[in-house]
Structure 1
Amino acid sequence: MRLGERFPGRRKAVPVPAAAKAQPYTFGAPVAGWVTNQSLVKSKPFSAQRLENFIPTSTGIIMRGGSVKRATIGSAPVESFITYNAGGTKKIWACDETTIRDVTSPASPTVAPAASVSGQTSGYYSYVNFTTSGGSFVVAVNGTDFLQLYSTTFDWSAVNGLATYRLNFDTQTVNYVTGQTITGGTSGATATVVKSIDNGTTGSLYIQSITGTFQDNETITGGIAGSAQADIPAGVVQISAAITGVATSALSHVWLYRNRLFFIEGGTMRARYLGIDSVTGALGSLNLSGIFQRGGSLLFGATWSLDAGDGIDDKCVFVTTEGEAAIFEGSNPAGATQAEWNLVGRYDLTDPMGKRATMRAGGDLIVATKEGLVPISAAINKDAAALSLAAVSRNIEPDWKREASRRLSLPWEIIKWPDMNYAIVSLPVTADGQESWAFVVNLETGAWCKFVGWATRCLELHDSRLYFGTNDGLVLEGEISGNDNGLPIYHTYVGNPDHMKSLGGLKTVHQARPTFLSATPYNPKISFSVNYSVDLPPAPTAADGGTADLWDSGLWDVAKWDQAQPTGSVGGGQWISIGKTGHVMQPQLQITSYLNQRPVTEFVQLDVTFETGGVVV
């Protein structure tokens, strides 16, 4: 080999100028949120590879609040919630497989409240609030038990093919039993008890199949047990009429369309509907079996609007278990003309994740499917294979699809929370060892994050407060306090790889300084990973949370619910030594929260100083 000839296979680094100086660089907060559907080599600016328990906003990322146990309804899973809101009365019930229990203001978070409804065989309900000329009601169905109707006038009542009446009693000596026949001692009248409300020596019997006429003050005796005197000076009172046409135990889903109740007849391709402004009566029938092509059965229905309200442009959507959607327009499903009822078209989605896994957004109907969170408007214009491109959840597509496959055995739910400007998607735990997660999206920016530590079997928004039920029978309120029912919250941000404007160049980050806007204590830990390999250090210790008592975070009648929100201040903190070298950098932020109040801390940016090295050639 001649002098000066390059040795084969050997590379030489371009020398770094001796006068190289540290340069400044700023990593902005990941306002684009959690993004995992991209090449790590060319990541979306201001995005995160991991964003756990931080919520992206338009200006930064904020720490989520904690959760507090509000009720225990037993050891069985809380499968769904039901709410009522009318005439100034607001109530929420938690449902397990056999009962419906009022958890609006339970006496104890550890003792199950008395069952409002018992003897059920499924706790997964679909419900609507419906105000008619006859009053304000909750209509709830589960596909296996009779339809449940609630009003403040008569509490809960099972509705089937028979009218239901109320017989009040007093001077009770023996309790009555549901399902038995009662007999009037003087009149000889009989009836079947469908519900007994016992207030000690007084109460009410809900009865059906009456023969004869019960008389006031006669002794009413149960065929199995029960004895009291009738307290009916004006006679028995009808509280609900019958629903006929099909057994209401077959109705699995309910929704409102053009002031009319629609139902799915579970396991079939038939939809049912009642008359306008009615919660009882004869059910009409819609057979949709000739419309769909993939088989299966109807799963749910909903209203889709071309604007953000309810009006003449509303359309009625029917969705099957196989992910097909049929869209109708019109106001009279029994009508003989297209103007009264008309099929707009049949469109392909992918398998829906649950009949409660939908939400309205800007007039559109968003449906959670195996491919992602898909707007119905996109299904009209795209093939099913391309729907993921239009999905609201596109930024987290790999994670969505993975969890949809892992957690398919239980239905998902979505709750839109305008006050917090986000929507939360439940990820029910379906196997031992599975993570307690929920997906969260900013309603304004579409940026995503993940809540870690919330075991969201089901979700509900009630009185502008978020509740979730768990597999072990607990009801918790979310976004309150600064810890998860006594456990710390670990907030974690890992940025997507950043070449710091020097693609392929070697960099050394020497120092970093974060900027926060905060009104509550926090103890951040800043670190870096390099060269696409995430390496998080142990989480930091929690900052002192103080002893503030905020509404629903302290004791009843002690907490100051109208206390002003703490005023935030900007803090840049001190420069922190980093000393990390690599070709690509990923900033990392960790905070451990164990506050007694909801944290008010926003991460804004991270300033660093770095030097560049040579490019290997």
Structure 2
Amino acid sequence: MARRPVNRAPRLQTETLPPPVGGLNTLDAVANMPPTDAVILDNYFPGTADVPLRNGFQTWGSGLSNVETLAVYTSGTTRKMFAVSKGKVYDVSANQAVGNGNVVAEGPYLSGAQFTGGVTTTLPLSQTYASSAGVLVHFDDVYQGFDQYSIVGTNIVFTSPIPVGVNQVYIESIPALAANITAEGPFTGVGGQTSINLSQVYGGTINLIVYFDGTYQGPDQYSLAGKVLTFTAAIPAFVSKVYVIAVSIGNIAQEGPFTGVSGQTTLTLSQTYAASANLLIHFDGGFQGPDTYSIAGTTLTFTAAIPAGVGKVYIIALGSSLVSGLTNSRWQYVNFSNAGAHFLVMCNGVDPVLLYNGTAWQQVTQSSTPIAITGVDPTTFASVNVFAQRLWFAKLNSTQAWYLPIGQVGGAANVLDIGSELTLGGFLAGMATWNIDDSAGLNPYLVLISSVGEAVVYQGSDPSQANAFGISAHFRIGAPTGRRFYEKYGSDIVFIGADGLTPLSKALLSDRSERNETLTRKISPSVTADVAAYGAHFGWQVILYPDGNKLLVNVPTAEDTTSYQYVMNTLTNAWCRFTGWNSTCFAYYNSGLYFGGPNGVAQADVGNDDGGNAINADIKPAFNYFGQRGMQKYFKMVKPVFLANSPFTLQMDLSVDFNNTLPTSTPGFSQGFSTPWDTTPWDRVPWNGAQIIQSDWESIDGIGYAATYRMRTQTKGIAYSIESATFLFEPQNELTL
């Protein structure tokens, strides 16, 4: 009987794997990991059905660096966002250069073109302004007092015609800060005097702009004690009026005075400013218009050399910051309302408490006005919380919590010292308000967390009454990281620390050893290692971004320099890691996610590039046996399937049998041509954005029992998602022993 021929034809097989929607997994053994998990998932966000490339970020405004705090103020429909950088508070509510919009240059108006000397009394403005004091007027280099004109709608009307011989009229105004500007004077009949009395107290001489008639007086020529402004020399007898323009604290800064600079064309400032209009410059007492200089970074360049006879150059910066002179920029904050106003309350443990009421800022001390906190030095308040209609503060490096009267942002503070409750020592790291839904309804609790991870929970309304306020629970959690270690998550609170990201409700009912209760269980080895390596760094923060279905944990790998984020999909609890967002702080503002860092402020989770740079993505799904655990396989090709808005290139590498060798190749760069709506001229650039399917076979080569791919991309302006990956392989003919 003839033998049947042996079929030696290759037996190629294909198998399609799902995208890793289960997210990053650094806990399970790679040999037993679910097929929907990933060993590496950098800059992909695991969705419910596919895995898209994360969105990018765009720079939000300009002119700032080293932003360590973003604070959001909310009152009714009014929302503002403030950035704290290098000891100063800035308004970053709008996407514009810092200070831009606070100072407006009207003009300059030119003789013969826009006015006739000796006749013209009215000049048009671009907008309305609140008061004459908020408008600074100069005829050439001579100041014109605020009693010499009025603002009528969008016009400025002078009491006398512009004199013959005036070549230019400069008008600079501060519309956004008009409520913070006060006109003191004009003072008359003060020739020969050395002091004048102001109507109120101001932060310092830097807050004042002073003129003797039309001649500017530098801040080194007077001092301020309470309401008394004292000059270094008597006011000259010929001076008929003294004008004092008082600008609210922080809205004004001083550069110089610069001396010995005659003949120079450039000066170096201490920081960048949005525009030349933000500066008021005087050569001795004579004003220099913003058309006579320009700004590039910190360099101020004049169109002509500083004249030889100039003794001092004074530079006043307006609209640059709202509060200045702070010791550090690492603040904690809450919003708090009472019957009178809504406040943003901020503290950092070394500076006076900051209050913002929607219009003005105040630094609160034991003796400040109109609001003060007594009974304790408020500069020692390191964190703040709201509970039972009271403001609560944690005192720096102590076990004391201080609270104010109900509904008050000032007044006599009282202490609750939990030192006797802390069996492990440490200090009070922070406080949170926790809501528990039980048979009695939704009940609020005050949670005080120590630096070593003890949680003391109080319930009640009046801490001064033992029968109305007491301890409800006392348990341990992992030692928290920094001051921004918790976030509200529904009615629960989540804490980041040595145990990972832990819901308080789970920590209450379990032991620290039960890591299954943490939200970060699947990435717990990575989080634990990060806390051990970087836990002392400033910049740890947990933030919920509900509009993006994201919960983020910021990990500062190098303080104020670099960081990455663990990001959880709040719909599936799947994790991933974002790199390239070098953030120090985050904020949720106007339904968007924002971060501050070494390069200023940025809006996150928007667009398809990182501030104009490519997004570098890296993915390595779980290893797979393809249904044949004991069979070796010869892997030949893989076909990933993408939905994208533009074609792109990728670097595909094969890993077999749990090999973790780093690829030596470099992914190619791909740039899309999609055009964001309303940012480019109509019919000028190619339109793209229609979804395409990209599914090309990629050559791979390797022999092993289990395999996966590692894919890296470098894209800009491209959005894509991973839908599946099909492997082409040949299994061995016989089982390997």
- TM-score (normalised: structure 1): 0.77
- Counterpart-to-counterpart distance in 2, 1:148 and 1:58: 43
Whether the aligned pair in 2 keeps the contact of 1:245 and 1:282 (CA below 8 Å) is yes
Asked if the contact 2:459–2:471 (Cα under 8 Å) also holds between the matched residues in 1, the reply is yes
Aligned to 2:727: 608
1:446 aligns with 2:435: no
Alignment match, 2:593: 466
Q: Deviations over 1:133-160 (max 9, x none)?
A: 111110111111111100123x110112
- Among 586, 592, 597, the alignment partner of 2:714 is 592
Q: Distance in 1 between matches of 2:577 and 2:492?
A: 24
Measure, in 1, the Cα distance between the counterparts of 2:331 and 2:688: 37
Determine whether 1:39 maps to 2:29: yes
Are 1:158 and 2:363 an aligned pair? yes
Q: Secondary structure at the match of 1:313?
A: strand
Instruction: Tell whether the 8 Å contact from 2:436 to 2:442 is kept in structure 1 after alignment.
Output: no
**2:585 corresponds to 1:476:** no
TM superposition shift of 1:254? 0.7
Structure 1: stretches of 5+ with no match in the other structure: 1-15, 165-239
Match of 2:658 among 529, 532, 538: 532
Q: CA deviation at 1:293?
A: 0.6
Instruction: Give me the whole-angstrom Cα distance separating, in 2, the residues matched to 1:565 and 1:352.
Output: 47
Other structure's SS at 2:524 match: helix
Q: Output the amino acid matched with 2:702.
A: K
TM-score (normalizing by structure 2): 0.65
* Residues 275 and 568 of structure 1, relative CA distance in 2, 3 Å threshold: farther
Q: Deviations over 1:330-379 (max 9, x none)?
A: 22222231xx2121121111210122121122321100002211111222
AA at the equivalent of 1:279 = V
SS in 2 for 1:249: helix
- Please point out which of 51, 59, 72 is paired with 2:49: 59
Structure 1 residue 316 displacement after superposition: 0.8
Aligned partner of 2:557 in structure 1 is 429
Q: Which residue of 2 aligns with 1:184?
A: none
Aligned residues of 1:409 and 1:430 also touching (Cα < 8 A): no
- The match for 1:401 is 528
Equivalences for residues 90-489 of structure 1 within 5 A: 90-105=79-94, 107-108=96-97, 111=273, 114-153=320-359, 155-164=360-369, 240-307=370-437, 312-337=442-467, 340-384=468-512, 386-411=513-538, 412-430=540-558, 436-470=563-597, 472-489=598-615
How far the C-alpha of 1:59 sits from its partner, in A, is: 0.8
Please tell me whether the aligned partners of residues 63 and 97 of structure 2 are also in contact (alpha carbons under 8 angstroms): no
- SS state of the match for residue 400, structure 1? helix
CA distance in 2 between counterparts of 1:320 and 1:23 reads: 58
- The CA RMSD over aligned residues, in Å, is 2.6
- For 1:428, the aligned partner's letter is P
Provide the C-alpha distance between the structure 2 equivalents of 1:247 and 1:35, rounded to a whole number of angstroms.
Answer: 47
User: What is the aligned counterpart of 2:69 among 80, 104, 107?
Assistant: 80
Amino acid at match of 2:502: V
Aligned equivalents of 2:356 and 2:541: distance in 1?
A: 23
Q: Output the CA distance in 2 between the equivalents of 1:522 and 1:341.
A: 62
Please give the alpha-carbon distance, in whole angstroms, between the structure 1 residues aligned to 2:337 and 2:10.
74
1:389 Cα offset (Å): 2.8
Q: Distance in 2 between matches of 1:497 and 1:83?
A: 44
Residues 40 and 73 of structure 1, relative CA distance in 2, 3 Å threshold:
same
Structure 2 CA distance for partners of 1:123 and 1:36, relative to 1, 3 Å: same
Q: What is the aligned length?
A: 507
Give the AA of the match of 1:389. N
Query: Partners of 1:146 and 1:436 in 2: how far apart?
Result: 29
What is the distance in 2 between the residues matched to 1:48 and 1:436?
A: 21
Q: Name the aligned partner's letter for residue 448 of structure 1.
A: W
Partner of 1:395, secondary structure, is helix
Shift of 1:287: 1.3
Gap change, CA 1:41 and 1:147, over 3 Å in 2: same
Q: CA deviation at 1:161?
A: 2.3
Alignment-derived partner of residue 68 in structure 1: 58
Q: Is the 8 A contact 1:307 1:362 kept in 2?
A: no
Alpha-carbon spacing, 1:33–1:547, altered in 2? closer, same or farther (3 Å): closer
Q: 1:114 to 1:496 in 2, by over 3 A?
A: same
Q: Distance in 1 between matches of 2:675 and 2:596?
A: 27
Q: CA deviation at 1:312?
A: 4.5
Cα distance in 1 for residues equivalent to 2:57 and 2:371: 42
Evaluate the alpha carbon distance shift between residue 425 and residue 520 of structure 1 in structure 2; reply closer, same or farther with a 3 A threshold.
farther
Decide whether the 8 Å contact of 1:490 with 1:539 is kept in 2: no
Q: Which residue of 2 aligns with 1:581?
A: 703
Name the stretch that deviates more: 139-148 or 571-580. 571-580
- Deviations along 1:520-549, whole A, 9 cap, x unmatched? 443344332112113436343333321513
Task: Give, in whole Å, the separation in 2 of the partners of 1:162 and 1:448.
Answer: 49
**Contact kept? 1:159, 1:248, Cα under 8 Å:** yes
The one-letter code sitting in structure 2 at the alignment partner of 1:150 is Y
Residues 332 and 566 of structure 1: CA distance in aligned 2, closer, same or farther (over 3 Å): farther
Following superposition, the deviation at residue 466 of structure 1 comes to: 1.8
Q: CA deviation at 1:609?
A: 2.3
SS of corresponding position for 1:116: coil
Larger Rg: 2
1:566 is displaced (CA, Å) by 5.2
Contact 2:625–2:705 (CA under 8 A) maintained in structure 1: yes
CA deviations on 1:16-49 (whole Å, 9 max, x unpaired) are 9745622221111001101011111111221111
Q: Which amino acid aligns with 2:735?
A: V
The change in CA–CA distance for 1:282 and 1:568 in structure 2 (over 3 A counts) is farther
Name the CA shift for 1:252/1:42 in 2 (closer, same or farther; >3 Å).
Answer: same
The 1:369–1:30 alpha-carbon spacing in structure 2 relative to 1, beyond 3 Å, is same
Which aligned pairs between 1:558-569 and structure 2 lie closer than 5 A?
Answer: 568=691
The alpha carbon displacement at 1:111 in A equals: 4.1
Q: The residue matched to 2:420 in structure 1 has which SS?
A: coil
Deviation by residue 1:260-294 (Cα, 9 ceiling, x = unmatched)? 21111111111111222222222121111111111
Q: Secondary structure at the match of 1:137?
A: strand
- 2:674–2:688 contact (8 Å) kept in structure 1: no
SS of 1:450's equivalent in the other structure is strand
For residues 44-100 of structure 1, the C-alpha deviation after alignment (integer angstroms, 9 at most, x for no partner) is 22111100100011111111122222245555x322111112232221111134211
Instruction: Give, in angstroms, the shift of residue 591 of structure 1.
Output: 2.4
- Contact 1:71–1:111, Cα closer than 8 Å, also in 2: no
- Between the two proteins, what is the percent identity of the paired residues? 27
